[in-house]
Structure 1
């Protein structure tokens, strides 16, 4: 059986719809919780796949959250070795930072809600092509510059760099893993951020009820192609 190590920052931002896909593909999934588990003790090259999940902190906040430096070392080691790595939201931002790119608050403000991606030609040919013009969930306030030597795959109006690949590593600023059921926990966990942004919980819930079920099979095919090395 292959191994997947998922680094989780908050309990409700887990693998979501991706977890059954991984298990059906023969992966044993193990979570390690940043800020609780000692990430410095992890051998970065032992898991067949590493997934770095999202969270409401900045990739540049190592002085406040020292475990981020351990994460950056793990990510950097896998990037250097060319082993499979998937970053979602904060995970993608940490990948960009590990590759020397700038990560900073978005001057356009937070991007929260459902909207389609604009795929580049490389994005259309990549696993992201499985998403087509479907809306995906965005939930971030930071953006990253495209790391040197990486292929840009997608953008939105507020966020020029939504995805990139680096060898066998794929960085996604958005959330293709979200499920309608799991999203209810997001509404609880991010209640303060939702209120500060002046967003509507019922509207976010309704949009997720409309889009999440449609997204799920497309996200599953995206992940399957990534696992196959596409």
Structure 2
């Protein structure tokens, strides 16, 4: 039986932080993805504002750096539009931080820069969400130094010793992940080069990070498969439930 493909837009900040493991999952689930590059593309276009699904990916800058990177203001306006209307939105790392700021939360530096593989703890709400597919004592890829207050009316899904807000859900159709569940272990060699200065400053051993990545590669791929598949299955058809919210 023919199934009409659905459309999503992914916003990139740097080329190597892409959909990773999420790309083949979306392809299999019938989604066609178009990419926008935040620093140079017009994010105010109606097709982006009202996309069936918007994914905002990570990047090596802070939400508070709009004086240096004015496009961040356009991203915040875009996210405010979507979150107010409960349009399906996924934010990863910088994308999650932008979602929190768009919802009025305070942004600030975390107690320690988190780079590398580490555990998170699911809250009761997290255990009831798609993140339960991560299993017991999940290990995920962290690559961040900033954090935020939990937005009003949002549900905290995960935390750890350093960062209280590792993931949150907002209303029915928005998911924010501070960690990189989408990162493809096979592509992290590009990250080691692209983030070379940051890794050096944080005194992160690339050989150690590479070895841990290799050890966890099969596990994290399975986790991403299960979590993202369940979340995508929960996105309503635009013509059915989102019709009233799709105005400009």
TM-score range, shorter chain: over 0.9
**2:117–2:142 CA contact under 8 A, matched in 1:** yes
Q: Does 1:7 align with 2:11?
A: yes
Shift of 1:212: 2.7
The separation in 2 between residues aligned to 1:39 and 1:60, in whole angstroms, is 19
Task: Give the counterpart of 1:183 among 166, 188, 192.
Answer: 188
Task: Give the counterpart of 1:131 among 127, 134, 147.
Answer: 134
Within a 5 Å distance, the mapping from 1:134-213 to structure 2 comes to 134-167=138-171, 168-213=173-218
The separation in 1 between residues aligned to 2:19 and 2:190, in whole angstroms, is 13
Task: Give the counterpart of 2:125 among 112, 118, 122.
Answer: 122
2:73 is aligned to 69
Task: Give the counterpart of 2:25 among 21, 26, 45.
Answer: 21
The structure with the largest alpha-carbon Rg is 2
1:216 is aligned to 221
The separation in 1 between residues aligned to 2:76 and 2:65, in whole angstroms, is 12
Unmatched 5+ stretches in structure 1: none
Shift of 1:161: 0.5
The separation in 1 between residues aligned to 2:49 and 2:201, in whole angstroms, is 40
TM-score (norm 1): 0.96
Shift of 1:42: 4.8
SS at match of 2:91: strand
The separation in 1 between residues aligned to 2:125 and 2:45, in whole angstroms, is 36
Q: Does 1:89 align with 2:96?
A: no
Give the length in aligned residue pairs: 229
Counterparts in 2 of 1:8 and 1:42: CA distance versus 1, 3 Å:
farther
**2:76–2:102 CA contact under 8 A, matched in 1:** yes
Task: Give the counterpart of 1:79 among 71, 79, 83.
Answer: 83
**2:121–2:138 CA contact under 8 A, matched in 1:** no
SS at match of 2:112: coil
Q: CA RMSD in A?
A: 1.2
Unmatched 5+ stretches in structure 2: 236-248
**1:15–1:177 CA contact under 8 A, matched in 2:** yes
Shift of 1:41: 2.9
- Residues 129-167 of structure 1 show CA distances to partners (whole Å, capped at 9, x for unaligned) of 111223100000101110011111100111110010002
Q: Does 1:229 align with 2:234?
A: yes
**1:59–1:90 CA contact under 8 A, matched in 2:** yes
